Chain A
Amino acid sequence: MLLAGVVLAGPGLYRQLPSIGEPGFVNFAAAILVLLGAVSGLMAHRQIRKSCDQVGASLLKAYQEGDESPLALNDRALNPLIQSVNQMMMSIRARMNELARKVRELEIQLKIVQLERDHAESILHSISDAVLVTDPWDELVLANESAARALGFDIPEEGRPPIDQILKDPKLIALIREMRASRSSGSRKVVEHSIQNNGQERTYKITLSCLTGDRQDASGVVAVLHDITREAEIARMKNDFVSHVSHELRTPLASIRAYIEMLIDGEATDAKQQAEFYEVIQNEANRLGRLIDNILDISRIESGIVKVNKQPLSLTVVIKEAIEIIIPQAIGKNITIQENIAPAIYQVLADKDMIHRAILNLMSNAVKYTPEGGRISVLTDVNEVEKRITVKISDTGVGIPPKDLPHVFDKFYRVEANNRMAKGTGLGLSLVKQIVETVHHGKVSVESVVGQGSTFSIELSLC
């Protein structure tokens, strides 16, 4: 506006301009210079302001849109500032890139940790041992599904409930507390303990270890419960077996020893009685031998070193021979034996001695467990389509309780309810199963009703 005034006022002014050397010239020149200075200052101010606006806009854009491209302004006065701003922005960009990289790294690490945690948790939940972890205040930190199942509680959704609100077994709670109180880091304690759950008692080997945190007094406990019910049962069965076998071995040995002493002491009054004694000694020695054979046979079949001599064989013949052997025992108890056996043309590929033994064993059991005056039936069932023959030996005996049925072929297993009916080693049916299933790839099975009787079946392939 000031410039426009000067220009508009130009012609008039020019007319009044003093010439060089005229007295007003210096003043006039100075006035012109001041005016020019003011004009140029005004123009520079406007340029700086424009550049500042642009710098401001670029910084705002960089802030709002993340556009961090360097400021492209060419203003001599502002160049140092723009350069500094650009350098600062570059530095910020570098730092932001670095931070972004770190965030990405942390995200990856977090994912890995989460995966590892999930992995660890799935391992923890998949193991069959029950695992409990408690903190220094005896609160439950972690429990796997096996623990919840074995000890009968629901895994807490959140929070850390005190163990005495979760666990029902007082001894287990006491063991965890004792271990925590001991505060001996790295120490382990192994305890065998039986726990009731759902009316069932199971035996566990409980391994307790102390967890020590950074603070010396921060001590939690890890308890791992390994179910050894089955092992304990097997150990018990083995003890029973040894006890039965030793009883069975000692009984004939007792007779042998007693009768020999009687002969030495001249207690046999005549030659006939002496002969009787010798016969008893011989029979009991044979019985002892048979028992040892049975034990060895089972162990040989199990270890796969038994010699098998398989030949085409008629089961009819084997069954008839077995019945001949068993008849005196049956007559002694007034038990009748019925038979309905297939013709001898049906043959199986089998070891005669072994199959004979299996069938004789089942018949002998039938007689043992059938009260006087009962009935035993032996029948065969031929399935020509599937080329199979089944021998069924049924009795009207005491029967087997349902809880024992799945175990009767287990080695050393004795049906407690029938223990007084007859003595045995718990080996007979196990031997039958080994002979039929392991050696001949057949199948043994049993059906039974307590008080009515049992039916044992042997199924073999026809040849």
Chain B
Amino acid sequence: MGSKTILVADDETHILNVVSLKLKNAGFRVITARDGQEAFELALQENPDLLITDHNMPRMTGLELCQKLRQDARFDHMPAIMLSARGFQLDENDTAAGGIRRMLSKPFSPRELLAAVDQVLAAA
């Protein structure tokens, strides 16, 4: 499980850093991106096991990123966790189309995020 790679996308440096540290301390390999486009390109290169993404990001939103990745067969089974500051609701179609398994809203608890990551990866 420790060898799993997680892609974290957020335009807030502090959030990116704290999530990365929590996951690294738990033994994951973490790669980071500061916007949706960068995350998409990084995903193509690194083929991560899980995506944790903010929604409201420059260039490409988190939802667009998830849906765009799902169009590629390689990411068919890659689960995603949406970590968004805005308390927006996604309908089931959006969630399904993007492979989004969990929605967490900011402010968030890194502990809860780690628990969600473990759950999602175990179910994948």
Contacts and interface: CB of A to CB of B under 8 A. Distances in A.
B96 interface: no
Contacts of B109: 257-258, 261
Interface in A270-320: 280, 284
Contacts of B56: 247, 423
Interface stretch (A168-176, A248-256, A378-386, A424-432): A248-256
Interface in A231-279: 243, 246-247, 250-251, 253-259, 261-262, 265, 267, 269
Interface string B88-124: 0000000000000000001111110000000000000
B30 interface: no
Interface string B3-37: 00000000110110111011001000000000000
Given A255-B12, A259-B18, A267-B25, A250 B110 contact: no
B7 to A, nearest CB: 19
B14 A257 contact: no
A421 interface: yes
A420 interface: yes
Contacts of A269: 25
Nearest to B105: A250
B77 interface: no
B108 A421 contact: no
Among B56, B85, B87, B107: residue with most chain A CB under 10 A: B107
Contact of A254 (B17, B58, B85, B87): B85
A251 B16 CA distance: 12
Contact of B21 (A246, A262, A421): A262
Nearest to B112: A261
Given A247-B86, A262-B18, A284-B14, A254 B107 contact: yes
Among A256, A262, A269: residue with most chain B CB under 10 A: A262
Interface of B: 11-12, 14-15, 17-19, 21-22, 25, 56-59, 85-87, 106-111
B107 to A, nearest CB: 4
Given A247-B85, A251-B12, A257-B108, 11 more contacts: A247-B56, A250-B85, A251-B15, A253-B107, A254-B12, A254-B107, A255-B18, A258-B15, A261-B111, A265-B110, A269-B25
Interface of A: 243, 246-247, 250-251, 253-259, 261-262, 265, 267, 269, 280, 284, 420-423
Judged by DSSP, the binding face of A is helix
B83 to A, nearest CB: 9
A262 B110 contact: yes
Nearest to A266: B25
Closest A-B pairs by Cβ, 9 of them = A254-B106, A254-B107, A255-B14, A257-B107, A420-B58, A250-B85, A258-B18, A253-B107, A247-B85
A269 B24 CA distance: 12
A420 B58 CA distance: 4
A257 B105 CA distance: 12
B14 A280 contact: yes
B58 A258 contact: no
A24 to B, nearest CB: 148
Nearest to B87: A246
A119 B12 CA distance: 64
A92 B120 CA distance: 110
A275 to B, nearest CB: 14
A255 B56 CA distance: 16
Contact of A250 (B58, B107, B111): B107
A49 B70 CA distance: 126
A267 B22 contact: yes
A280 B21 CA distance: 14
B105 to A, nearest CB: 8
Contacts of A255: 12, 14-15, 18
A259 to B, nearest CB: 6
Given A250-B106, A420-B58, A259 B14 contact: yes
